[in-house]
Structure 1
Amino acid sequence: MAEYLSPGVYVEEYENLPHSMEGVATSVAGFVGLAERGTAAGAPVLILTYPEFTRKFGGYLNEAAFGEYRYLAGAVEQFFQNGGSRCYVARVLPSDARSASYDNGQLSVTAANEGSWGNRVELYFVEDSKKGLTIQVMYDDEVEEFAELNLHPESANYIGRRLQDSRLVKLQYKGPNEGEDIPLPGNPVAALLGEGNCSIRLEGGADGTKENITASTFTGTDEGPGKRTGIQAFLENNTVSIIAVPGVTIPEVINSLVAHCESIQSRFAVLDMPRDISDVRKLIEFREMIDSTYAAIYHPWIQNFDRANKKPGYFPPSGAVMGVYSRTDMCRGVHKAPANETIACTGLNINFNKGEQDILNPKGINLIRALPGQGIRIWGARTASVNTAFKYVNTRRLFIYVEESIKANTGWVAFEPNDANLWNRVRLSIDSFLNTLFRNGMFAGASPSESYFIEIGPTTMSPDDIKNGRLIMNIGISPSRPAEFVIFRITQHTAESSS
C-alpha cells in the first residue's frame, strides 16, 4: 500500500485478471546411448538438427564393434526425419573407453572426452617474438586457434587459462621446476615441446568394446549435479517429455527407464523390442516384463540407410516413433493419438498380419505395419499397462501435459494469503486454461461442464489444512480417446423393401 503524505490525486494500478497459463512443451525427446565423442557426464546436451548431433557426438558407430548398442546416431537422425525438432542427448561409455592424450612432463594435453576420435587431434605451435605464442587445435575439418599466448600464470593470456575455452582438448602447462625461471617470450615453443618440435598428436584414445558394456552403462550413476550419467543424467533436465534408449532391450535398462518416468511423472518412455523376435508368445512374454502407463512399446524394426555400412539396414523404431510423437503434438496436439501416422522408412524386418495384431494389440504391443496403398504406419496407440483408465498413449500424455502446465504456471500462489480471494483467482486461472483446451478439442464432452471440473475451497480443505499452509484443489478432466475400432454396419437395400 502506498503512503500518502500530501493532498492530491493518486492513481494506482492493480491486477484484476486471472493469471494467464501457457502449456508446457510435450515434443522434446531425450536419448541415451553410445556415441563416437561427446561429454558423458552431467546435463544432457541440447540438439536441434542432425548435423549438430554429428558435430557434437559424431556419426554412426561400427556394427562389428558395438552390435546392438550402436543405434543412437541413427535414432536421432530418424527423430528429425519424422518431424522432431528438439532433443537432448546423454552419451554413455564402455568401461574401457579412454581419452587420447600427450604428456612430456612439461605439457599435458588430453582430448575433451573419451574415444578414438581424439587420436586425430593435432596441435600446432607457432611462436612470434612480437605477438607471443599461437596454438592451432585441429580435428578433421574443425580448427580452433588461440593467439597471443604466453607461459606466465599471472597473465590474462596464460596458455592454461585461454585453452579452457577449447571444445577439443584440455591443456595443462606444468611450468618450470622449483627454482627455474619462467621461459622468456622468445622461446615458448622450445620450452613446451623441446628444440626442433612445433606440433604434437594425441594418442591412446579408445572407444571401448561391447564386452565392457553392461546394463549399468545405460542406467548410469547419480553422484550429484554435474556428475550424473546415463538415464540418471536426465534428472538434471526438466524439458524432456519423451525418452528412449534406442535398440537396448536389456530388461534392467528397460525397467530403469520406466521407473525413471514413473518417478518424475512428467516423462513418457518409448521402448523397443529385440529385433528378431517374431513369435507372438515371445513378444507377449517380453511385453509383460513391465506394466506401466508411462511407457509404450513398438515393433518391428524399420529399414533405413545405414551410413556406417553404406547400405540399407534395420534400426530400432523408438527414434522415428518419437519423431512422430513430436510431429503429431505440433500439428494436432498432444490429445491426438500418435497412430495411423506414416513413418519415414523403406521397409520392416518383420511383416505382421492382422491376425497377429489381433493378439498383440490388446496386450499393449504397438505394431508398425505396411498397409496396402497407405504406406508404412504406426498402427497402435496402447500403453504398456493393464490399467484401462490409461489404456491409450495420448490419454497418459494429455494428463502429463495438463498436470505439468498447472504446476509450471501456479508458482505465484506460494506464500499468498490462503483465503477465498486466492481460491477464486486460482480457479479462474485454471478454468481459463482448461476451457482453451476444451475449445481446441482436447477433451470429450459437448460443453465445458461435461469436459472438466474444478473444486477448491471448504470442500477440498479443512481448517487444519489451511492452518498448515496447504492449498488443495480437485481437478477432473474427460480425455478424448481414439477411435481404435471403426465399425460400419452395412445391409442390402432394395427398391422393394423401401416401398
Structure 2
Amino acid sequence: MSSFLTPDVYTEEVPVLPQSVAGVSTAVPAFIGFTEKALKNGKSVSNNAIRISTFLEFREMYGGAQKTEFEVLINDDEQLQKLTATPPTSTLYYAIDLYFKNGGGDCYIISVGSFEDAYNKQAFEDGLKILSKEDEPTLIMLSEAAKLPANDYHAICQQALAQCADLKDRFCIFDIKKDDEEANEFRNGIGTNNLKYGAAYTPYIHTSLNYIYDDQDVRIINLSSSSDTATFEVVHDGIRITYAGDISEEPKYRINGGSGDTVEFSVSPSKLLTISNVPTEGIAASDLLDAWTAFDNKGDFDIEIVTENTQITATPGTGGQEISKQGGSEGAFTLESREGTALYSKIKSELAKETIVLPPSSAVAGIYATTDRERGVWKAPANVSVNSIIGPVVKISSADQERLNVDVTSGKSVNAIRSFIGKGTLVWGARTLAGNDNEWRYVSVRRLFNMIEESTKKASHFAVFESNDATTWLKVKAMIESFLYGIWQQGGLVGSTEEQAYFVNVGLGKTMTQQDILEGRMVVEIGIAAARPAEFIILKFSHKLQEV
C-alpha cells in the first residue's frame, strides 16, 4: 500500500491479467564437428557454442569444406577409364548446407578443432560439455561422431542421451549406416538408459551436393603410357605405398605383426617391402611415417599419409600383396596442369556428376524444424520429403523395415529413410529408441513434453520466493491452463473438452501437505493427453450382399 502524505491526485496501475507462458523454441540443433577455421570478428571461437541463422554465416565464420581428392584414370586417347574420390574426413560443411536446404533455421555450431586436428572421441566429449552449458539448443547432432570407431561412437551417444535426461530440454538424432548388422550393432552398443530422449535414422543418403575440390587435388594417370618406367601404388588403411621402377617389375608389400618396441622396414632384391613389428591394435599412421623417414634403404619405395589419425594394422598371411601399376612415369599429372584443354573440360564435366553421401540426421533436423514451424511440435516429423538428395544409398522394403521399426528383442526402434515411386524419398518412421514404451514411443510425444515442461518451468520463475498461498497458486494455475488451452486448440492435445485434454492441480490438500508449505515447496501437477500419430492405418473391406 502506497503512503500518501501530500494532498494531490495519485494514479496506480493495478495488474488484473495473469502471467503468460511463452513457448520455447523446439528445433534448434547443435552441430559438433571440425571446421576449416572458427573466427568471429577476427577472434577465435573454437570450442564455443555459436548461434548462426544462415549458411552464409557458417561459411564466413567457419570457412569452407575440407577438400576432396580425386584420381582419374585415362588411356592414350584421353578417354576416361575410371574416376575415384577420396571423401573428406570432415563433412560438417555439407551437413549444414543440407540442414538449411531442408528448411532448417537457427542452429548452434561447436567447432572442436580444424581439419588438421586429431579426429577422436575426446574432441566430441569436450563438445558435449560445452553444449551442456547452453540453454537454447533442443537437438543434439552427432553425424560427425558417426565416423569414429563403433565403440567410441556409441559411448558418445550414451553421453548425449544422459545430457538430455539431465537437462530435460533436448533430444538426440542419431545415424546408423545402412544394414541390419550395423543396426543391431548400434542397438547393442547404445545400452538401455535414457532411450526416450533419442531417435535413430537409417540409411545414409546420396545427396545432390557436389564435392568441393581444387584442381591440384585431381590426379590424372595415363594407364597406357609407353614409357619404360612406371609408377605403382596401393592404399592400405590410411597410408599410400608407392614404387617407381621398371614397367615390367611386380613390386609387393606386406605388414607383419610383432611385439618389438619399434617398427622395422626391409626391402628385398625381389622388390618386396616388409613392415615388421606392427602391434596387434595397430600403429598410428603418423608414427609409422616417422619410422619410415628414419629408414635409409628405401630403394624405390615411398610411403605417405592419405588419411590423418588412422591406425595401420598388419596384413594376414606371409606372402606379399601386389602394388598396382598406375601407368608410366610420364603419365601422372594434375588437372591444374591441363587447364584450357579439351581433357580439362571433359574431366570437369565428369567431376560435376560426383555427389557426396551423408548421414541423414542433418536433413532430418531440417525436417523437424519445418514440421514444427508449419504444423507444431506435436506433429510427427515423418511422411515428409527430403530435399536436395538423389535417394537413400540402400533401398529399404516394407519387410526390411519391420525389423527396424519393431525390435522384439530390445524394443529399440530405428526409423527408415525410404524411396517411393512417384513420391520421392520420405522420412518413414517417427519412433524414439524406446520403441516398446507406451508412454514415450513417439518422437512427437517426447518433444511435446520437452516443450511444455521447459516453457512452464521458465514462466514459473516469477513465483520463486512469492508467498506460498492461494493467491500465488491461482496465478500459476491460470497461467499454465491458458497455455495448455492454446495447445489444445491447435490440435496438440486430444479430447473433446478441456477437461479431457489436460488438468492442472495445485493447492493444500491436493498437491501439497502442510509440511511442503513449511519447507517452501509449491507442487503443481500437470497432466496432458498428447496427440499420437496414426502409425498404422487399417482399412477393412467386406462383400456387401445384394439387397432385393
TM more than 0.5: yes
Aligned to 1:251: 154
Please report how far the alpha carbon of residue 300 of structure 1 lies from its aligned counterpart in structure 2 after TM superposition. Answer: 0.6
TM-score between the two structures when normalised by the length of structure 1: 0.71
For the pair 1:60 / 2:109, whether they are aligned, the reply is no
Aligned with residue 283 of structure 1, among 183, 189, 193: 183
Aligned with residue 308 of structure 1, among 201, 208, 212: 212
Q: Is the 8 A contact 2:67 2:88 kept in 1?
A: no
For the pair 1:49 / 2:100, whether they are aligned, the reply is no
Change (3 A) 1:464 1:67: farther
Aligned length: 371
5+ residue gaps in structure 2?
39-43, 70-84, 147-152, 214-351, 408-412
Please report how far the alpha carbon of residue 289 of structure 1 lies from its aligned counterpart in structure 2 after TM superposition. Answer: 2.8
For the pair 1:343 / 2:386, whether they are aligned, the reply is yes
CA distance in 1: counterparts of 2:212 and 2:47, whole angstroms:
28
Aligned to 2:438: 388
Q: Is the 8 A contact 2:33 2:92 kept in 1?
A: yes
Secondary structure of the 2:201 match is strand
Aligned with residue 216 of structure 1, among 117, 122, 126: 122
CA distance in 1: counterparts of 2:27 and 2:500, whole angstroms:
28
Please report how far the alpha carbon of residue 41 of structure 1 lies from its aligned counterpart in structure 2 after TM superposition. Answer: 4.1
Please report how far the alpha carbon of residue 11 of structure 1 lies from its aligned counterpart in structure 2 after TM superposition. Answer: 3.7
Aligned to 2:139: 242
CA distance in 2: counterparts of 1:322 and 1:61, whole angstroms:
22
Secondary structure of the 2:477 match is helix
Aligned to 2:423: 374
CA distance in 2: counterparts of 1:282 and 1:73, whole angstroms:
25
TM-score between the two structures when normalised by the length of structure 2: 0.65
Name the one with the larger strand percent: 2
CA distance in 1: counterparts of 2:92 and 2:535, whole angstroms:
32
CA distance in 2: counterparts of 1:69 and 1:384, whole angstroms:
28
For the pair 1:467 / 2:511, whether they are aligned, the reply is no
Letter in 1 for 2:116: G
5+ residue gaps in structure 1?
94-114, 116-206, 221-229
Secondary structure of the 1:431 match is helix
Aligned to 2:200: 297
Q: Which runs of 4+ in 1 moved over 3 A?
A: 6-11, 39-43, 62-69
Letter in 1 for 2:446: R
CA distance in 2: counterparts of 1:241 and 1:374, whole angstroms:
30
For the pair 1:438 / 2:488, whether they are aligned, the reply is yes
Aligned with residue 103 of structure 2, among 80, 83, 88: 83
| Aligned-pair identity (%) | 33
Aligned to 2:538: 487
Q: Is the 8 A contact 1:62 1:70 kept in 2?
A: no
RMSD: 1.9
Change (3 A) 1:9 1:66: farther
Q: How does 1:356-375 map to 2 (within 5 A)?
A: 356-363=400-407, 364-375=413-424
Q: How does 1:65-464 map to 2 (within 5 A)?
A: 69-93=89-113, 115=114, 207-208=115-116, 212-220=118-126, 230-249=127-146, 250-273=153-176, 275=177, 277-278=178-179, 280-290=180-190, 291=192, 292-304=195-207, 305-308=209-212, 311-344=354-387, 345-363=389-407, 364-385=413-434, 386-458=436-508, 459-464=510-515
Q: Is the 8 A contact 1:30 1:87 kept in 2?
A: yes
Of stretches 369-378 and 232-241 in structure 1, the one that deviates more from structure 2 is 232-241
CA distance in 2: counterparts of 1:66 and 1:397, whole angstroms:
38
Change (3 A) 1:469 1:48: same
CA distance in 1: counterparts of 2:492 and 2:356, whole angstroms:
38
Aligned to 2:271: none
Please report how far the alpha carbon of residue 284 of structure 1 lies from its aligned counterpart in structure 2 after TM superposition. Answer: 2.7
Q: Is the 8 A contact 2:504 2:526 kept in 1?
A: yes
For the pair 1:13 / 2:23, whether they are aligned, the reply is no
Task: After superposition, give the CA deviation of every residue in 1:435-478 in whole Å (9 maximum; x if it has no partner).
Answer: 01110100011111001111100111111211121111110111
Please report how far the alpha carbon of residue 236 of structure 1 lies from its aligned counterpart in structure 2 after TM superposition. Answer: 2.9
Q: Is the 8 A contact 1:302 1:314 kept in 2?
A: yes
CA distance in 1: counterparts of 2:543 and 2:381, whole angstroms:
36
Change (3 A) 1:19 1:404: same
